[in-house]
Amino acid sequence: MPESISKDIIRELALAQGFDLCAFTKPVLSPQHKAQLDMWVGNGMHGEMGYMAEAVRVERRKEPESMLEGIRTVIALGMKHVPPPYSLEEGEDAKASGAIAAYAHGDDYHDVMKKRLKAFARDLDALLGPHDQRVYVDTAPVLEHALAERAGLGWQGKHTLTINREHGSYLMLGELFTTAEIEPDEPAQFHCGSCTACIDVCPTKAIVAPFVVDARLCISYLTIEYRGFIPLDLRSLMGNRIYGCDDCQMVCPWNRKAEVIELDQLKPRDENVLPELLELFELDDEGFRERFRKSPIKRPGRAGLLRNVAIAMGNSGNPDYILPLIKALGDSEPLVRGHAVWALSCLYPHSKGEEIVARLEYHLQHESDEDVLNELHRSLKTIGELNT
Ligand code: SF4
Ligand code: SF4
């Protein structure tokens, strides 16, 4: 880097492109971060995200210098988003609504951030002269929270997310890898202390130890990344969380101190803040595509989202959902049919018990999907046990 160019100028460029945080580090991870990754993958905590366990990708995660020849610096960048505009209790109490993680209320941050990273990269080219660089948002084999900690952008809390002292943890991270030599910042200090609020509040006990989240138990993974039938023992613990989960961040004391954000660049949409379950459950393929255009919520697809909505309906105790759930027994997606079966068995004690049993028995005769058949057998058995 030309000696006359200070890091402050680079930070100003990042801020001008819409980033809130910008910090610098060498492309080297600590032995603890590497060991933690090995332990996580070794214990299968990545669930069905098989790409995370591929040997090549694990090695690349551990060796950021392997991502770009001649790399000298990692620039860690953070963008704030608004916190959930309701308390943990208000979110859970909204039984006719589904809770969606706050970062997903608006546009997809991957798209927004990628554009900003590319614009920032062009600015750096102009400032520093010719050098190679790569930009990353979430998807590449990059340990973003570890690099953010090394760069001093924030420490990794016990829930494994990055916490900044002034801005809290409602942050989205991106990275710019560059061959330019830029003096590294000091690593972040750890400020969780003896707090265990995130571990205690987690509905599914997915934070199995400080700094270790077992994705297979985490509602964020289950509702967004996981494609199959949700494990039975976790369904009732999911409550009304239909896309992601903010609980561990909502209780974090560092988010109480976070500054108010004036402009969320993801443009939160009112219709995604505690949306009505019924409205979502009635979406067909085209309606789903239209409703979630440019939104991250399209990621699990219609089947995945309606699966999550069916679970929330089953957990609601609201008999108004019985008829829509009966209708969903004829849905083209086994994932939707199967979770509708489970939800109906949950609502059985509340109303229309005879009709629920009659419909489930009817579908037992006409269903061909093995997983849905299992759900039908299990639900009818559960209902039978309630009556003995
Ligand atoms: S996102 Fe939710 S389920 Fe996952 S660790 Fe945090 S509180 Fe637990
Ligand atoms: S809730 Fe407590 S332990 Fe968890 S990340 Fe925040 S400060 Fe750390």
Cβ atoms of 104 and 272 closer than 8 Å:
yes
Confirm if 288 and 307 have CB atoms less than 8 A apart.
no
Tens digit of each residue's pLDDT (9 = 90 or more) over 135-194: 999 878 889 999 999 999 999 999 999 999 999 999 999 999 999 999 999 999 999 999
As a whole number of angstroms, the distance between CA 239 and CA 213 comes to 19
What are the start-end ranges of the E strands in 46-131?
A: 73-80, 99-100
Please compute, for residue 372, the number of CA atoms within 13 A of its CA located in the half-sphere on the CB side: 23
Say how far apart CA 237 and CA 258 lie, in whole Å.
28
Beta carbon of 252 within 6 Å of any ligand 1 atom:
no
Q: With the CA atoms of 101, 311, 307 and 366 taken in that order, what torsion angle do they form, in degrees rounded to the nearest 10? A: 180
Determine whether the shortest distance from the Cβ of 24 to ligand 2 is under 6 A: no
pLDDT at 2: 57
Ligand 2 contact via 337 beta carbon (within 6 Å): no
> Relative to the CA of 255, which ligand 2 atom is closest?
6
Return the structure tokens found at 281.
Answer: 């459950």
Residue-level pLDDT at 138: 86
**pLDDT of res. 252:** 97
User: Nearest ligand, CA of residue 157?
Assistant: 2
Q: How far is the CA of 127 from the centre of ligand 2 (A)?
A: 39
Residue with the smallest CA separation from ligand 1 atom 6 is 248
320: CA distance to ligand 1 center in Å? 29
Judged by its nearest atom, the ligand closest to the C-alpha of residue 247 is: 1
- Residue 192 CB–ligand 2 contact under 6 Å: yes
For 3-59, how does the pLDDT look when each residue is reduced to its tens digit (9 = 90+)?
556 899 999 999 999 999 999 999 999 999 999 999 999 999 999 888 888 988 999
Strands 241-243 and 155-156: unpaired
Ligand 2 contact, 197 CB (< 6 A): yes
Check: CB of residue 108 under 8 Å from CB of residue 175.
Answer: no
CA of 254 to the centre of ligand 2 (A): 8
Compute the distance between CA of residue 265 and CA of residue 109 in angstroms, rounded to an integer.
9
Rounded to whole angstroms, the Cα distance separating 295 from 17 reads 21
Identify the residue whose C-alpha is closest to ligand 2 atom 2. 195
Higher-confidence residue of 373 and 388: namely 373
Ligand 1 neighbourhood includes 176 CB (under 6 angstroms): no
Question: What pLDDT digit, counting tens, does each position of 195-250 carry?
Answer: 999 999 999 999 999 999 999 999 999 999 999 999 999 999 999 999 999 999 99
Is the CB–ligand 1 distance for residue 322 below 6 Å? no
Whether 138 sits among the annotated catalytic residues: the reply is yes
- The pLDDT confidence band at residue 64, using thresholds 50, 70 and 90, is very high
Residue 36, token pair as written in the block: 């933690």
- Please report which ligand is nearest the Cα atom of 101: 1
Q: Is 219 in the pocket of ligand 1 (CB under 6 A)?
A: yes
Catalytic residue, from 20, 123, 132, 138: name it.
138
- Cβ contacts of residue 42 below 8 Å, gap of 6+? none
Helix (H, G, I), strand (E, B) or coil at 162: strand
Instruction: Give the model's confidence band at 302: pLDDT under 50 very low, under 70 low, under 90 confident, else very high.
Output: very high
Q: b/e for 2-29, b at 16 or more Cβ within 10 A?
A: eeeeebeebbebbeebbbbbbbbbbbeb
Residue nearest to atom 7 of ligand 2 (CA): 192
Contacts 24+ apart (CB under 8 A), 36-42: 36/211, 36/212, 37/61, 37/62, 37/143, 39/212, 40/212
* Cβ 243 vs Cβ 100: under 8 Å: yes
Express each pLDDT in 312-371 by its tens digit.
999 999 999 999 999 999 999 999 999 999 999 999 999 888 999 999 999 999 999 999
Give the pLDDT band of residue 261 (cuts 50, 70, 90).
Answer: confident
- Return mean pLDDT, the chain: 94
d(CA 51, ligand 1 centre) in Å: 21
How far does the centroid of ligand 1 lie from the alpha carbon of residue 249, in Å?
8
Choosing from 252, 255, 256, 257 the residue with most ligand 2 atoms within 8 A of its CB, the one to mutate for a pocket test is 252
Counting atoms of ligand 2 from 1, which one is nearest the CA of 210? 3
Helix 334-347 vs helix 370-386: angle between axes, to the nearest 10 degrees?
0
| Percentage of residues in the chain having pLDDT higher than 90 | 86
Question: CA–CA separation, 145 vs 129, rounded Å?
Answer: 29
* Ligand 2: centre distance to CA 199 (Å): 8
Any residues with CB less than 8 A from the CB of 72 and at least 6 apart, and which?
A: 26, 27, 178, 179, 180, 181, 182
Residue 287 has pLDDT above 60, yes or no: yes
Tell which one of 46, 156, 161, 207 to mutate to probe ligand 1, the residue whose CB is within 8 A of the most ligand atoms.
207
> Tokens in use for 135?
């930009």
| Angle (nearest 5°) at CA 170 between 150 and 302 | 115
Assess whether the C-beta atom of 75 lies below 6 angstroms from ligand 1: no
